[in-house]
Amino acid sequence: MTYLFLRQEETDMIDIHNRLSQPFAACINNEWIYSPICFDVTNPATGETITTVPNLGIAETEQAIEAAATAFESWSITTPKERSKILHKWFLLITEHTEAIAHTMTLEQGKPIAEARGEVSYGASFVEWFAEEAKRSYGETIPSPAAGKRLFTIKQPIGVVAAITPWNFPVAMVTRKLAPAIAAGCTVVLKPAAETPLCALLLMELAIAAGLPKGVLNIITSTAAAAVGKVLTTHPSVKKVSFTGSTEVGKLLMEQSASTLKKLSLELGGNAPLIVFDDADIAVAVSATMASKFRNAGQTCVCANRIYVQTGIYYPYIEVLKAAVEKLVTGNGLLTDTSIGPLINREAKDKVIAFIKDAENKGAKIIAGIPDTEADSLYIHPTIITNCTPEMDLSKEEIFGPLLAVYIFDKEEDVIALANDTPYGLAAYFFTENVRRCYRVMEQLDYGMIGINEGIISHAEAPFGGMKQSGFGKEGSRYGLEEYLATKYVCLNTTEYKN
Ligand code: SIN
C-alpha cells in the first residue's frame, strides 16, 4: 500500500500543495486505482484546475461492489468493539489532519477556510459518535404470549451499502453515511460528487491508516453519475442505498432500486421557512438568520429559504439584518476575512440570478447587495430581497445561494399555512419568546427538523432527516445506526416434551 497523502510508515501529512499538483487515484480493495481517463477538479474561486482524478465507469463500479461483497463476509462478523477501535482511530487521524483536509476542501469546494475547519470537526464528530454507537446495536426480548416460547430480536448489518454524496459538504456528508455503515458491520462503495472528490480520497487514506481492512470502503470517482448510479441501484449485491442530493435524482434512484428492493435513505431538497414573530428577540433572530442563510454561501439543504416576518417587528428586524448583511465579505475562501465564498459552478450562479430577475419582475425589491450578475466569477454578493410573494420562483424552489428572500405576514395561522405550502419538509425555523407558541407552532409545521430561536441545528447526536418530498431515513443520532441494520426476529421453543 503506497500512501497518497501520508508519508510512508507515518501518519504525518505531506505538504498538501505539493501533493495536489499530482494526479489522484480512486480506491478499490485498499488499492489505489489510476486511469489514463481522468477528469479535472477545479477551484471555484479561481477556475484553475487543482488536479485530476480517474474517471471510472461501470466495470470499476462492479469491481468495487464485488470487493465490498467479499469484505462483508469477514467485516460483518467482527465484534462491535473491534469496529469501534478502528473508527476511533480514524476520528483521531481526521482531527489531527484538520488543516490539510480543510485546505483541500476550500480549494475544491470554495467555502471559507474557517467554515472548512468547522466542517472537518463536524464530519469527524460523526465518526466519533458512531465509534461509540457501534457498541449499542441492541436487540430486545419480547414478553411471549405463549408458554415455552422465547421471543427476541437481534440486529445484523444489512450488507453492501452504496453511498452517493453531494459537493456542498465534502467531508460531513461522507462521514455521516460511512461511519454508521462501518460501525454496523456493513461494507461500502462510495461515489463522492465529481466536483469534490479530493476530501473523500483523503478520508479514505486516513481510514486505511486507521486499520480499515481491504474492501470495507471503496471509492469510485466519476463524472458518469447516471451510469455509476444505475449500477449501484440495480446490482443485486448492494442491499442499501444512501443518497444526499436533489429530490429529482432521489426519485430516479428510488425507482431504479425497486427492481432489487433495496433499503433506502434519501436526504433530498428543502425549502426551509424561517418565521420571525412579533415577540421574538431581534438580536437572536438576526444572528440565527445569518447563520442559517449564509452558511456555505447559502448552499445547504437546511438553509433558510423563505424569511417570514410579522408586521409588528418587520422594520426593526430588517434594519438589524441589513446592517449584518452589509458586513459580509465575499471572496476567495483562503483569505481569512472572507465570509462568503464562490458558488460551486456557473449553473448555480445562473440559477440565483434567474431567481433575482424573476422576483424583481414580479415586484420584489433589492435592499442590500448589488448582485454582480454579469461577471465571469462565481461570486454573488449577499443580497436581501423584500416584498416577496408565493408566486415567485424563489418561493417554490431551493435557492442554494446567498440570497435572502423576505416576506411579510400578519397572523400566526396564515404563516403556518404559507410555511407548509411546499412539497418539501426538511427543516423549519421560528423565533418567539412565548413558550405556548413554541409548542403550538412546532407541532403544526410539517418538517422533519425544527429550530426554535436557533439557526444551526445539525449535530452528530441529533436525527437529521426530512418529511414529504425531502426524503426519509435519519442520519446521525442513535437512529442513524438503525438505517444500516436488519432486525431479525427469533422465536425459540423451550418446551420439553415428556413421553
Ligand atoms: C445539507 O445541506 O444537506 C447538510 C447540512 C447539515 O448537515 O447541516
Residue 163, strand partner residues: 190, 242
d(CA 320, CA 177): 38
- In order of 31, 35, 69, the CA distances from 63 in angstroms are 12, 14, 10
Q: What percent of the chain has pLDDT over 90?
A: 92
Number of domains in the chain: 2
Based on the fold, state whether residues 101 and 143 are members of the same structural domain: yes
Write the CATH number for 321: 3.40.309.10
Q: Does the structure show a pLDDT above 90 at 21?
A: no
In a domain, 381, yes or no: yes
**pLDDT digits 0-9 by tens, 79-118:** 999 999 999 999 999 999 999 999 999 999 999 999 999 9
38 is catalytic: no
Based on the fold, state whether residues 246 and 345 are members of the same structural domain: no
Share the mean pLDDT of the chain: 95
**pLDDT digits 0-9 by tens, 450-477:** 999 999 999 999 999 999 999 999 999 9
pLDDT number for residue 499: 72
pLDDT number for residue 24: 83
pLDDT number for residue 23: 76
- In order of 35, 41, 170, 260, 343, the CA distances from 248 in angstroms are 31, 25, 21, 20, 21
Locate the DSSP E strands across 158-196.
160-164, 187-191
26-51 mean pLDDT: 95
Ligand 1 atom closest to the Cα of residue 299 is 2
Q: Which three cell numbers stand for residue 423?
A: 412539497
- Find the residues whose C-beta lies inside 6 A of ligand 1: 168-169, 172, 244, 300-302, 458, 464
Run of H or E residues at 204: helix 197-209
In a domain, 419, yes or no: yes
pLDDT number for residue 8: 45
Catalytic residue among 186, 301, 303, 388: 301
- C-alpha 362 – ligand 1 centre gap (Å): 31
d(CA 57, CA 42): 21
Based on the fold, state whether residues 175 and 302 are members of the same structural domain: no
pLDDT number for residue 374: 61
Q: What pTM does this model have?
A: 0.96
In a domain, 343, yes or no: yes
- C-alpha 302 – ligand 1 centre gap (Å): 6
Half-sphere exposure for 154 (CA within 13 Å, toward CB): 5
pLDDT grade, residue 10 (50/70/90)? very low
Based on the fold, state whether residues 258 and 278 are members of the same structural domain: no
- C-alpha 71 – ligand 1 centre gap (Å): 30
Ligand 1 atom closest to the Cα of residue 168 is 2
Based on the fold, state whether residues 368 and 236 are members of the same structural domain: no
Q: Does the structure show a pLDDT above 80 at 124?
A: yes
Ligand 1 atom closest to the Cα of residue 172 is 7
Ligand 1 atom closest to the Cα of residue 267 is 3
Locate the DSSP E strands across 221-303.
238-244, 263-267, 272-276
Catalytic residue among 60, 128, 205, 267: 267
What is the span of the domain harbouring residue 374?
Answer: 272-459
pLDDT number for residue 183: 98
Run of H or E residues at 83: helix 80-96
- C-alpha 279 – ligand 1 centre gap (Å): 29
Based on the fold, state whether residues 120 and 187 are members of the same structural domain: yes
The residues, any chain, with a CB within 8 Å of residue 498's CB and separated by 6 or more, are: none
Based on the fold, state whether residues 248 and 305 are members of the same structural domain: no
Give nearest CA residue, ligand 1 atom 6: 458
Q: What percent of the chain has pLDDT over 70?
A: 95
Torsion 271-274-445-422 (CA) sign: negative
- C-alpha 303 – ligand 1 centre gap (Å): 8
Best of 265, 458, 461, 475 for a ligand 1 pocket test (most atoms within 8 Å of beta carbon): 458
pLDDT grade, residue 1 (50/70/90)? very low
Based on the fold, state whether residues 260 and 370 are members of the same structural domain: no
443 is catalytic: no
pLDDT grade, residue 373 (50/70/90)? low
Q: Does the structure show a pLDDT above 70 at 9?
A: no
Give nearest CA residue, ligand 1 atom 8: 458
- C-alpha 144 – ligand 1 centre gap (Å): 43
Give nearest CA residue, ligand 1 atom 3: 301
91 phi and psi angles, rounded to 5 deg: -55, -45
